């Protein structure tokens, strides 16, 4: 396979669908695209299905494949991966406790925030720690972390040397993953990275096998959380950087499809809606790192707000007859009836008169077995799993079979939480089947489901569609406002509760005494399969242009293959008490009498290192730009005090030569 091929293959294993595209990168023209449902238990099954729907002759000509995936994100949340041993060096007793990881061994050795060695490394204690973690605790990987190691990595590097002499397990140094000063988060990031090593290794190997089966033999890259791709070797070493890669790839795809330098991106998927910013032609990066479940990781990721709203969000209602959309994702009844005739038969035979005036729509729910690999299932859970082996079953029928008075008593909560059992109900996707905007699956089943829902609710099907779509528009309206507010003021991660009244007024567009109007200046790019159908009511309420580009349904896969490789190498220079200056790099600490020689050296090192890392990451003929940023503080006499100079080299290049 010649590396000079200009055909690229982009793959995104998303939360609901796995998308694959073939693009001519020389002309940025889409040649083919395909979709398949994401297979959570084994992502490669969905990838294979998507690849099978692309032209084989074009696949064989792909020179580069780029993959974005939810795997790293989900694995961090679920705690999957290696058993990791942590070695900690710190002058503080509380440091290891705040990291909160076991097994952990603290050894003598400490560095000050200035980079000075406070306590020499105890090499004998280091050897004992490695022996304990590898031989006794049977850890499959090690992490070295310490307070202020980003200011002077000397002791951490020595621990790595000692460990490599003693054993052959992977070892991750926290200071190499992040240059940020928050050492606790840095350690937690390094532990997560070490845990992910086998997870990403196995995924890459499986994807490689799948590509070879389809005749694809070019390079393989993986998208990072900031939307930029790296060679598979880099992803294997630093898998934590691939968290949130799927949403980031979508934002990159929106930029590629529209060419806009400044925009708000609304990525509406099956499960969630992601809201992000494109500024100066780049995906805006979060200043706080990656928020994954309860964790904050010290890695660069796209600054994205996520809400549980998508094409497959559950549509339900409350006792006081208010329509509720999401945040739970359910399988559309149109899809399940398309796959299983028994579901269509259930909807056809549904005695809606028995449920007229119901308190909610749960009588329509259908349960389906997604995975039966649950070793610690209780007796009642096992009975339900055995019942579902024969195919999807209405929840009310399952309750009768298990001799329960009501479907709410079914032992399904934990099974749904771990993904072993899925629930099917009415969703926006079903409504789009009824309106004719999306008719891939069983239209008759969707129409029947809407009729049942409307009778239970007490309004006509047309009114239900109007109410549901208005509820979707209201949620999108609020998320766009939240995105803009949090972007302009990073301290506001959420809208104050007191704003609810004003948001309602602004959405309605009218008021008795107080009339509120909201608008945003940057255009909104809506992407994702249901985007065009669900976003139509938002633009006029915000006085903004809504752009749904061609091929918006596969923007994530286009972003995966179309983004440039971007690498940043940062070095800081800080003053010392004696009037000299200290250069802090990822692998060095150097002293200078004057600021300018330190700056020149920092620019030289950062440029060379960024260029080297860009080539390693897969950039072809990368270009390097070096930026300088000074930080100052207020002095007591009203003047300013120099605090730090930050030198950042940015190397970028395309994956194709």
Q: Of 125, 152, 169, which marks where a domain is finished?
A: 169
Which residues have C-beta within 8 Å of that of residue 654, sequence separation ≥ 6?
25, 564, 565, 619, 620
Domain final residue pick, 460, 488, 514: 460
Is residue 205 in some structural domain? no
Rounded to the nearest 10 degrees, how much is the dihedral formed by the CA atoms of 286, 288, 290, 294? -140
In sequence order, the 6+-apart residues with CB closer than 8 A to the CB of 536 are 546
pLDDT value at residue 293: 63
- Per the model's pLDDT, the better-predicted residue between 633 and 496 turns out to be 633
The count of other CB atoms within 10 Å of the CB of residue 150 is 27
pLDDT value, residue 3:
43
Given a contact cutoff of 8 angstroms between Cβ atoms, the answer to whether 607 and 585 are in contact is no
Structural domain boundaries, residue 349: 316-460
Q: Evaluate if residue 458 carries a pLDDT over 50.
A: yes
Judge if 324 and 444 occupy the same domain. Answer: yes
Would 275 be classed as within a structural domain?
no
For residue 425, what are its two tokens?
């109900």
H or E stretch at 642:
strand 640-653
Assess whether 322 and 435 both reside in one domain.
yes
> Number of structural domains, the chain?
3
* Residue of 220, 232, 284 lying closest to 254 (CA atoms): 284
The reply to whether 107 falls in a domain is yes
**Nearest residue to 309 via CA among 332, 333, 331, 329:** 329
Report the residue count for the chain.
Answer: 657
List pLDDT tens digits, range 235-267: 988 888 888 888 889 899 999 999 999 999 999
pLDDT of residue 139: 93
Biggest CA–CA distance in the chain, Å, is: 87
What whole-number distance in Å separates Cα of residue 622 and Cα of residue 615?
A: 7
pLDDT digits (tens, 9 = 90+) for 355-383: 888 899 999 999 999 877 777 889 999 99
In a domain, 10, yes or no: no
Chain CA centroid to CA 88, Å = 29
Rounded Cα distance, 176 and 156, in Å: 10
- pLDDT one-digit tens code per residue, 277-312: 998 888 888 777 777 666 677 778 888 888 888 899
Last residue of a domain, one of 460, 480, 512: 460
The residue with tokens 């930050």 is 646
In a domain, 304, yes or no: no
Average pLDDT over residues 160-169: 92
Instruction: Report angle CA 132, 137, 142 to the nearest 5 degrees.
Output: 75
Mean pLDDT computed over every residue of the chain? 89
Beta-bridge partners for 230: 222
N-to-C CA span, the chain? 14
Nearest Cα to Cα of residue 183 among 84, 106, 120, 95: 95
Note whether 451 and 572 are same-domain residues.
no
Residue 555 falls inside a structural domain:
no
Residue 493: predicted pLDDT:
66
Residue 423 lies in a domain: yes
The DSSP symbol for 647 reads E
Cα-based distances in Å from 221 to 10, 32, 75, 292: 10, 20, 20, 23
How deeply is 447 buried, as exposed, middle or buried, from its count of CB atoms within 10 A (0-12, 13-18, 19+)?
middle
Residue 47 belongs to a domain: no
C-alpha R_g of the chain: 27
Residue 1 pLDDT exceeds 70: no
What pLDDT is attached to residue 445? Answer: 97
Residues 324 and 456 grouped into a single domain:
yes
pLDDT-derived band at 490 (thresholds 50, 70, 90) equals low
Instruction: Assess whether 320 and 454 both reside in one domain.
Output: yes
As a whole number of angstroms, the distance between CA 9 and CA 562 comes to 9
């Amino acid at each position: 396979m010649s590396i000079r091929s200009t055909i690229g293959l982009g793959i995104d294993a998303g939360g609901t669908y796995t998308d694959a595209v073939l693009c001519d990168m020389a002309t940025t023209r889409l040649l083919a695209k395909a979709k398949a449902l994401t297979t959570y238990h084994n992502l490669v099954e969905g990838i294979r299905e998507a690849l099978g729907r692309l032209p084989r002759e074009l696949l064989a000509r792909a020179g580069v494949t780029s993959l974005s995936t939810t795997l790293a994100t989900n694995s961090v949340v679920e705690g999957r991966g290696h058993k990791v041993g942590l070695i900690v060096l710190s002058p503080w007793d509380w440091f290891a406790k705040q990291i909160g990881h076991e097994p952990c061994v603290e050894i003598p050795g400490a560095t000050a925030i200035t980079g000075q060695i406070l306590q020499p490394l105890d090499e004998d204690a280091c050897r004992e720690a490695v022996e304990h973690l590898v031989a006794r605790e049977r850890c499959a990987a090690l992490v070295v972390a310490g307070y202020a190691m980003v200011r002077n990595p000397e002791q951490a590097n020595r621990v790595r040397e000692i460990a490599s002499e003693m054993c052959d397990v992977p070892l991750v140094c926290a200071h190499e993953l992040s240059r940020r000063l928050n050492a606790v988060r840095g350690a937690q990031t390094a532990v997560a990275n070490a845990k992910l090593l086998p997870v990403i290794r196995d995924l890459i190997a499986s994807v490689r096998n799948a590509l070879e089966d389809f005749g694809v033999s070019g390079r393989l890259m993986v998208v990072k959380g900031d939307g930029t791709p790296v060679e598979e070797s880099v992803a294997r070493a630093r898998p934590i950087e691939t968290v949130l890669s799927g949403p980031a790839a979508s934002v990159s795809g929106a930029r590629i499809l529209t060419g806009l330098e400044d925009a708000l991106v609304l990525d509406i998927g099956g499960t969630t809606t992601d809201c992000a910013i494109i500024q100066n032609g780049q995906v805006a990066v979060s200043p706080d790192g990656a928020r994954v479940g309860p964790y904050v990781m010290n890695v660069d990721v796209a600054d994205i707000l996520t809400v549980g709203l998508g094409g497959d969000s559950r549509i339900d209602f409350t006792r006081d007859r208010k329509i509720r959309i999401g945040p739970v994702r359910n399988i559309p009844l149109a899809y399940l009836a398309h796959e299983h005739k028994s579901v269509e038969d259930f909807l056809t035979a549904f005695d809606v008169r028995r449920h007229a005036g119901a308190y909610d729509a749960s009588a329509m729910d259908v349960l389906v077995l997604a995975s039966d690999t649950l070793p610690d299932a209780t007796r009642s859970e096992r009975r339900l799993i055995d019942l579902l082996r024969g195919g999807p079953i209405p929840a009310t029928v399952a309750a009768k079979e298990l001799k329960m008075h009501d479907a709410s008593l079914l032992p399904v909560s934990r099974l749904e939480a771990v993904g072993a059992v899925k629930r099917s109900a009415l969703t926006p996707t079903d409504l789009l089947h009824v309106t004719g905007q999306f008719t891939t699956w069983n239209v008759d089943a969707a129409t029947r489901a809407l009729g049942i829902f409307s009778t239970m609710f007490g309004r006509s099907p047309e009114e239900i569609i109007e109410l549901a779509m208005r509820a979707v528009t209201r949620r999108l309206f609020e998320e766009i406002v939240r995105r803009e507010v949090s972007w302009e003021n990073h301290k506001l991660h959420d809208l104050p509760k007191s704003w609810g009244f004003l948001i309602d007024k602004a959405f309605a567009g009218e008021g008795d005494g107080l009339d509120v109007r909201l608008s945003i200046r940057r255009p909104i790019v809506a992407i994702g399969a249901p985007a065009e159908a669900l976003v139509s009511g938002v633009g006029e309420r915000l006085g903004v242009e809504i752009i749904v580009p061609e091929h918006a349904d596969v923007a994530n896969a286009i972003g995966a293959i179309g983004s440039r490789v971007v690498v940043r190498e940062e070095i800081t220079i800080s003053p010392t008490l004696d009037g000299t200056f200290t250069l802090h790099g990822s692998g060095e600490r150097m002293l200078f009498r004057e600021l300018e020689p330190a700056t020149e050296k920092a620019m030289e090192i950062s440029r060379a290192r960024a260029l080297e890392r860009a080539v390693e990451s897969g950039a072809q003929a990368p270009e390097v730009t070096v930026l300088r940023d000074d930080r100052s503080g207020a002095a007591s006499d009203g003047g300013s005090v120099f605090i730090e100079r930050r030198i950042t080299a940015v190397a970028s290049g395309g994956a194709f030569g």
